[in-house]
Chains A and B, each alone.
Chain A
């Protein structure tokens, strides 16, 4: 059913001899030696690019924008060579019924062999009609596309947790994907948006190793979401030394001190920002002087002001409670007390367990 590149060529009357010649040319044009020719030929003969249907519910398109920022691999190479992005409202050439018919074609032709990527979430209020596509509720499209997908990826915090439109009072009943698609795992890649290279790494991991990445209990790939930003933050030594930014643009801010007292949510946020960083490693929020908003965490919009400091750090551990620790922020707690408690907690924890709290200079 699924035509490979080789099948297409043969169907068009191209001989195997010509095909091998093409593979040689391709190897040469890619700067590869003759040894690569059989490998290329094998790949082209056997592997159609995996179709990806990328659908959009209630969202802001920041996930698509992030995805095309990917530097390794380049978005261009992902789209032309690694997968077949057959549907994505934001980038696809077709519109209207010509676009919608692609969904039917892929679902039929690649039944059980395509990846469904969901950006945004379905609103369930008003019979789903807060998000209308093709005259129908988006949630119907989501269910239909999910039914025959091999894997389902929830891009970003909207699809993973609900994000901003699901913040109180959630007027549209915006609902994360896993609460609608309940009969199979949903791979959550949270963040508002997720880091570009995290997105492309998750999907190329699946294509390269032909399996879903290992997930934590909340459905996030462990490889990027198993440690807190604080655990790997380059400003962590200032936290441990009690050196804080006390006001915007003060002496501490200019020296790059810890932003904990300015409300940084790094201590309770599981993401790769402080290691992978953003936009080809140029920076990440803390490096550019603003605290982490905690945008990859569940309900991060409803945990009080972004400028209230994280008060309850008593559960500090690295991996032991990665699945269970939530956003535990109480507004208006005295700064000195909380900071002191936090430092003490960290010191106490280290002494007690010796678990891999990263040492400075490592």
Chain B
């Protein structure tokens, strides 16, 4: 390949090749290679998933009631979301219903994850793509204070407060040991915040680091720990006992008060710190309109947060559901996870093999045989890769397609689909933000749009927690304290051969689990996760994935500093441990481990 047209992009691999490996500040690690032209504009992009763990092979033959714990370990950043998809898949297969309180508590836990994950992403994984930490040393704390107070009434905003932070930062930098900030791209011209805004952002980086540990205590109350709280097929494991004997051993008034206070503080932090920071930073970058990729063409969301227990239809789901293809925003297609024609995975450019790699397979029929091989144009060796050959297999991530289309998933997809459907909870915040920034709707199809949608969603999720908490209290007032349905807990009550699927909207996008249960054991298990969609390599048609598309045509201020590449990749919040997975109908035991 030298030039190749796909999805409205012209790929050209003739220019200088730049390799970034590892891409950091993501869950796991990945590799990206781009070709830039003489003006340092990206003309070809290649993203490679660089790890594989094989969890679905491991699930074969296990008790389906245990699957949530295994799949939860797919990712410890979006902790809990795989567990939720898993218990839903098992319940769907076995026809198990859950009590209303269990649905509410699961929603609270999932919303809690949304807020936590988005907040940590914005401040700790993404902010350094926009914020120059070293520049903050030059700020005048008085100006920083004025800026902060003009944005919000968050109390930590005095000149003295920012001076203290700056002094601490100065001492840190003067120590000569920059720790996490070593070798950052400080001073790169792509950074646009003035020094006082940088100082405010650094202060909030530290505050958010302190506060994120509070949000997750909702998981701890209902699930016992975070990361990796506990879940249950048929409901939730925590019993409720408001005022009877032994109430201290269950969810009681003290526990509910703790949850309530965390929700209130979370709403305050998101609305008074996160959203104002997002708006301020976006204001300084409003004309950096790169990174849209296929977001204006193909978007997918399964929907989530059922308002009615056991009803996963679009009318019950508070998070938007649907698919947009070919840039036709006037039509939102319904998505059916059980339809073999809709969701299929291809492996023509992935390190797996199919008997016929021109075809895709639906997850229930999924097949994975790892097949690590490098193309003839690879530079380097098999264990020291200098340059990938993207015309051959080049990633541990498969290529999922919806009716043949690569699809972007995530907060931006959810907000665009919600906007197009006219859902005011998703339309109004977008319109308001765009008005504030004086930008047209098309501006949302960008790196910044993805980052903004994530912030707006964090606020939505925080407020929705309060709404569900009130519903929980209403149920308790009415005397309903049930949290689990154990009618089909005993495997003896199960049918011999059933299939099911479960889905959720993980923080990073649409997440589906498919399960086949035979003779009370897992026969097959498959997860198609958000970063599989977003990080997918090319498919047999030569279509590129959302990461690759989003990097296209972006100019780099300095070709040897991949700041803009990181910025756009991070806007997807990649999760690499999630993305690379496998199902094998006959995984073989490898009991002996040979140490090289």
Contacts and interface: CB of A to CB of B under 8 A. Distances in A.
A135 B31 contact: yes
B239 A165 contact: no
B238 A289 contact: yes
B209 interface: yes
A179 B486 CA distance: 43
Interface residues of B, number: 120
Interface in A55-89: 56, 58-66, 68-71, 74-76, 79-80, 83-86, 88-89
A128 interface: yes
Contacts of A247: 486, 489
Given A131-B51, A285-B225, A101 B79 contact: no
Contacts of B593: 124, 170, 173, 175, 179
A287 B252 CA distance: 12
A289 B227 contact: no
Contact of B50 (A97, A133, A284): A133
Q: How large is the interface on A (under 10, 10 to 19, 20 to 34, 35 or more residues)?
A: 35 or more
Contacts of B284: none
A293 B386 CA distance: 42
A59 B174 contact: no
A130 B226 contact: no
Interface stretch (A212-220, A252-260, A317-325): A252-260
B241 A282 contact: no
A3 interface: yes
A58 B213 contact: no
Given A80-B172, A88-B180, A248-B237, A132 B51 contact: yes
A256 B246 contact: yes
Interface string A237-276: 0000000000111000111110000000000000001000
Given A8-B176, A248-B484, A288 B595 contact: no
Interface stretch (A301-309, A334-342, A345-353): A301-309
A166 B489 CA distance: 28
Given A62-B227, A95-B566, A169-B590, A278 B220 contact: yes
Contacts of B237: 248, 288-290
Given A62-B76, A169-B587, A290-B237, A85 B179 contact: yes
A129 interface: yes
Given A94-B184, A289-B239, A62 B228 contact: yes
A102 B594 contact: no
Given A68-B212, A80-B168, A49 B596 contact: no
Contacts of A91: 25, 124-125, 180
Contact of A94 (B24, B249, B385): B24
Contacts of B318: none
A190 interface: no
A255 B246 contact: yes
A171 B370 contact: yes
B228 A192 contact: yes
A89 B489 contact: no
Given A60-B75, A94-B24, A136 B383 contact: yes
Given A124-B593, A134-B22, A256 B226 contact: no
A5 B486 CA distance: 62
Nearest to A12: B174
A51 B179 CA distance: 8
A172 interface: yes
B69 A306 contact: yes
B282 interface: no
6 contacts: A5-B175, A127-B382, A164-B73, A169-B591, A254-B247, A279-B216
Interface of A: 3, 5, 7-9, 12, 26, 29, 48-49, 51, 56, 58-66, 68-71, 74-76, 79-80, 83-86, 88-102, 123-137, 139-140, 163-165, 167-175, 179-180, 182, 192-193, 196, 235, 247-249, 253-257, 273, 278-280, 282-290, 293, 295, 301, 305-307
The 7 closest A-B pairs by CB, nearest first: A256-B249, A62-B76, A255-B246, A93-B184, A285-B224, A288-B224, A290-B237
Interface of B: 19-29, 31, 48, 50-55, 57-58, 62-63, 65-66, 69-70, 73-77, 79, 120, 124-125, 128, 133, 164, 167-168, 171-172, 174-185, 206, 209-210, 212-213, 216-217, 219-230, 232, 234-235, 237-241, 244-250, 258, 370, 372, 380, 382-386, 396, 481-484, 486, 489, 561-562, 566, 577, 582, 584, 587-591, 593-596
Given A60-B76, A124-B595, A171-B582, 10 more contacts: A48-B175, A62-B227, A69-B212, A86-B182, A92-B24, A248-B486, A256-B249, A280-B213, A287-B224, A295-B228
